[in-house]
Structure 1
Amino acid sequence: MPDMVSTAVRSVVAIKTPAGTGSGFFVDQGLILTNAHVVGKFHKATIAVDRGEIKISVTGDVIGIDEKADLALVSVGPDFDRPALAFGDYDSTNLADEVIVIGFPLSDVLGDAVNVTKGIASSKRTYNGLEYLQTDAAANPGNSGGPLLNTKGDVVGIMTLRVTFNETGVLTEGTALALSVDGIKSRLPALRGE
């Protein structure tokens, strides 16, 4: 798995706007997928990569937003390209399968270093007509928009939200939700303007 992670990390970026910070990942040449709440209402986003000695920062254009699915597509053009992550299969993801979260959490505290955590697929849930994978992998503010990967390195979801309190106000732990890869695939053409 270390080889898969080192390969996948190259395709994950930090995203910064006045709305906040988050993560994103390449889904095609020059195209990065993230959450709509990461970019907010802004038309531009700063895309940053910090890989030790290699530090790159460019401005990307937000070219598509899907508020219901909380998705946004950012174009950075061909000069700042990384390999696209492959899409996995939601139906083949079973409960207790190992999953990996890659992103840039708590960058205001931890800096811009990429972070990798692992956990399991804890549950499959439907909310607002969309399918989500629940994971117990550590996820914090800044992981939003980052990929949830299976052990092959395929995207099975995009980190979308973390539940911190239940409806009675009790603190919860290990409850992060990722929009399923099927939700991504079905909405990507519209985000591209197709």
Structure 2
Amino acid sequence: MRWGTILLALGTVLAALLAVALGVVLALRLQEPSDRPVLDPRVQLTVTPIPTLPPLDVTPVLSGTPTPAAASTPVATPLPVAAGQGDNPAHAAIGSVVLVRTPTGQGTGFAWASRGDALVLVTAAHVVEDNQRVLIIAPDGVAHPAEVLLRDPVVDIALLEVNDGLSLKPLARGDSRQLVPGDPLYVVGFALGTELLGDPTVTRGVLSGRRVVGGVEYLQTDAAMNPGNSGGPVLDGEGRVVGVAIAAIRNVEGIPMEGLNFAVTVEELMSVAES
């Protein structure tokens, strides 16, 4: 009888100890960081240099000693822009969109403001990276050296300045907060960089939603964005800039995603440009 009591007591103690151990393990697991990925839209859309491109010597421009030929020799042959047909909000914007080329990649930019004889352009901060000088390919195919005036990696916006007489019409500014889901949006940019020759690519979609990631406001759209689109304008139905193409979500845990593209709002851009 006494042995039975002892065994019962030992069983009770062991069960209690096991429960405590399990509780500790569960508590520790709850404190561990989750392995699930955070849905951060900063899947950058900058296209890296394409090996099949013909070599381009931009060293004199990027080193700060531009030659007259560097600012006047076409580096790409533009295609003629057709006359606008009907109500096409993106048509007028094409003439203000440029290719941004650095030693490590290519993206898109657009005319933002004129300051005397200088032209200020907008692109994405991750397009220019840490470069202080980049090369702008204007709509006529001519290369122009540009200084990086400002780079904000949080909002992912950079401002460039061209001082060699490049004259492009700054795009009109819209109000992204007046948009509602379902309103049309247009994305203009050099998808695949110079792999696709000619004018920028234009894609159309709608405002899918508004997102805030890391305190930064984004417009979510199903208008296609591809490598090379980073830094390009996102336009409303009136052809006004309401955002800057930044990123896309391609897959989550191996599951392919479609139509999850993101643009920093024009209000975020203005907070950087006018600070």
Q: Same fold (TM over 0.5)?
A: yes
Correspondent of 1:34 among 116, 123, 129: 123
- Report the Cα offset of residue 57 of structure 1: 1.1
Q: Which has the higher helix share?
A: 2
1:61 and 2:147 aligned: yes
**CA distance in 2: counterparts of 1:43 and 1:112, whole angstroms:** 27
* % identical aligned pairs: 35
Alignment of 1:160-171 (within 5 A): 160-166=246-252, 168-171=253-256
Structure 1's unaligned 5+ residue stretches are none
Q: Aligned Cα RMSD in Å?
A: 1.4
Alignment of 1:90-109 (within 5 A): 90-109=176-195
1:124 and 2:219 aligned: no
Correspondent of 1:153 among 239, 243, 265: 239
Match of 2:138 in 1: 49
Q: TM-score, normalised by structure 2?
A: 0.65
- Report the Cα offset of residue 108 of structure 1: 4.6
- Report the Cα offset of residue 151 of structure 1: 1.1
**Paired AA for residue 89 in structure 2:** M
Check whether the contact 1:93–1:156 (CA below 8 A) recurs between aligned residues.
no
Q: Which has the higher strand share?
A: 1
Check whether the contact 1:43–1:62 (CA below 8 A) recurs between aligned residues.
yes
Match of 1:110 in 2: 196
Q: TM-score, normalised by structure 1?
A: 0.91
Larger deviation, residues 62-71 vs 74-83 = 74-83
Match of 1:178 in 2: 263
**CA distance in 1: counterparts of 2:199 and 2:134, whole angstroms:** 18
Correspondent of 1:79 among 165, 169, 177: 165
**Paired AA for residue 178 in structure 1:** A
Alignment of 1:5-16 (within 5 A): 5-16=90-101
Match of 1:133 in 2: 219
Check whether the contact 2:247–2:263 (CA below 8 A) recurs between aligned residues.
yes
**Paired AA for residue 70 in structure 1:** D
**Paired AA for residue 174 in structure 1:** G
Matched residue pairs, number? 186
**CA distance in 2: counterparts of 1:42 and 1:67, whole angstroms:** 13
Larger deviation, residues 170-179 vs 4-13 = 4-13
**CA distance in 2: counterparts of 1:40 and 1:69, whole angstroms:** 13
**CA distance in 1: counterparts of 2:194 and 2:96, whole angstroms:** 22
Residues 91 and 83 (structure 1), Cα distance of their counterparts in 2 relative to 1, 3 Å cut:
same
**Paired AA for residue 42 in structure 1:** N
- Report the Cα offset of residue 170 of structure 1: 1.1
**CA distance in 1: counterparts of 2:185 and 2:144, whole angstroms:** 30
Check whether the contact 2:94–2:199 (CA below 8 A) recurs between aligned residues.
no
Check whether the contact 1:97–1:121 (CA below 8 A) recurs between aligned residues.
yes
